[in-house]
Every structure is written in C-alpha cells, then in structure tokens.
Amino acid sequence: MKDPVANFWGNVECALDQGGFQYILEDLVSKVREGLDASFMTAQSIDRRDSYSNIAAIAQKDGLEDFALALRFAND
C-alpha cells in the first residue's frame, strides 16, 4: 500500500484545482487512522473527531511528523 501522506502530497495540486481538497484530506486522515493502533494518541484524537489542528499537534507528539505537516498545510 502506498504511504497515505505521500499520496496526499501527490494529489494535492490536482485536488486544489478541481475542488477535491476536502476529499483527499479526509482520505488521508482515514488511511492514517487505519494504520494506527488504538493506543496512539493520534488515533484517539481522530476517533474523537478533533479539529485538524489538534490532530496535527498530537501527531507531532506521536512522532508522525509528515502527517502533522500535511494537516497543518490543510489549515493554512
């Protein structure tokens, strides 16, 4: 399976042009969540449906730097 963060970055330009950005963002979060054990704070944050900025902060603490960066990009 392709890395969900790499997939996000690979599709972001096209999605921005075609208005599909929200879709690829939701797909990113869903795919990352699938790959995380429930013990990760990031998984718990996603399950609570926290804001993307809160998920990004928690992902950073969990060491998921690339995922956090992608979420921060989405909030800018």
Residue with the bigger pLDDT between 62 and 2: it is 62
Distance CA 20, CA 65 (A): 24
Q: Which residue has the higher pLDDT, 6 or 71?
A: 71
Q: What is the pTM of this model?
A: 0.81
Query: How does pLDDT run across 25-46, given as a tens digit for each residue?
Result: 899 999 999 999 999 999 999 9
Predicted confidence at residue 72, as pLDDT, reads: 93
What span, in angstroms and rounded, lies between the C-alpha atoms of 30 and 24?
Answer: 10
In percent, the amount of the chain with pLDDT more than 70 equals: 91
Of residues 8 and 53, the one with the higher pLDDT is 53
Q: Which residues contact 50 (CB under 8 A, 6 or more apart)?
A: 58
